[in-house]
Structures are given as C-alpha cells and as structure tokens.
Homo-oligomer: A and B are copies of this chain.
C-alpha cells in the first residue's frame, strides 16, 4: 500500500502533466511540430526526457490533444460572448482583445500551424476539417447581424465581414514578436460602421 495518499499522487501527476503541457504549447507554437524536439520541451519543463513518456504516448499525441483543446477553448470563448450584456460592438471589442491576448496566442498559433502548415497527424487533419473557420463564422453571425441592425457594425455581407475580420485577427495573432501589434481600436475600424 502506498504511503502517499492517492490524492497526493494524483495531484503530482496532474501538476507534472500540466507543467510539461505548458512547456509544450509554448514550443510547439513557436517552432511547429517538426521543429519541436522532445528535448526542448523537457528542458523547458525542467524534467528528464524519459518523464515525457510517462505522461504522453508520443509527441504527435500531445500535439493532437493540444489542438483539440485549442479548438474547444476557442469555441467556448466565442460562445460565451453571447452571455454578456453589452452592445454588439462592445462584444466584438472584447473578442478582439481576447484574441490578441498574449496568453491565448500560443493556442491560436497551434491552430494556425495545424490549419496551414506542416505535416500533422491524421487526427489533427480531421479535427481541422471538422472545425473550419466557417464554424466560427456561424457562431458569430447573430452577433454581427444584431450589430448591423443597430447600426454599430458596417453594412454588407455579414458572413464575409466576419470571415475577413477573423482572418485579420488570426493573422495578427500568429505573427507575434517582430511585428507591432495594432491597437484594438484601430482593428475595430474594419467592422465599425462609418
């Protein structure tokens, strides 16, 4: 029988896993799947490379689970906008700020990499196909349409407007250091009426 309570073991397990996961997100985001070596992740996490395999089956498996997580998180965040009790344009502002947030960036970067570049595991390809940009567009459609009715959001084909705006936001997010991040208010020019 173990001296350590099951709880304690569980806690250690989850903490270590989280620790490695966080390191992995950062490095995957920066270097991509083929550019990321296990040794980079474990060095960043401060553990031995052997421990990686105590927690994850393969590099690909971890990458895949991170992409899955990123999709879920981004869907949830966009969805949660509808709960807020502010005007549409305010919601769009919040969305914009959220997407430019430093902390979220690595996840978006991951998605970007999964979506466009590189050799990715089959499962990632499938996930990406299941959640094309279009899904986000549909999710945001009511918000933008309401904004148009209220005269807050620029007229025109709402779906294209949303898709274009998401492209811009994603692009900005993906670039990261080396580029100047535009002010939120400037970015909103793309969608504001007049």
Q: Mark A87-127, 1 if CB is under 8 A from B, else 0.
A: 00000000000000000000000001001111100000000
Task: Give the CA-CA distance A112 to B32 in the complex, in Å.
Answer: 13
Query: Of residues A112, A115, A182, A190, which shows the largest number of chain B Cβ atoms within 10 Å of its Cβ?
Result: A182
Which of A14-22, A76-84, A170-178 sits within the interface?
A170-178
**Identity of the chain B residue whose Cβ is nearest the Cβ of A177 in the assembled complex:** B116
* A179-B35 CB under 8 A given contacts A117-B30, A171-B168, A189-B189: no
A39 within 8 A of B: no
Kindly state whether residue A73 has any CB partner on chain B within 8 Å: no
Instruction: Check A115 against B182 for contact (C-beta < 8 Å).
Output: no
Nearest Cβ distance between residue A136 and chain B, in whole angstroms?
11
Residues of B within 8 Å of A31, CB to CB, are: 34, 117-119
A163 to B117, CA, bound (A): 25
Tell me, yes or no, whether A180 is within 8 Å of chain B by CB. Answer: yes
| 11 further interface pairs, Cβ-Cβ under 8 Å (given A115-B178, A133-B178, A171-B173) | A35-B117, A133-B179, A164-B182, A164-B183, A164-B186, A167-B175, A168-B172, A170-B175, A170-B179, A171-B171, A171-B174
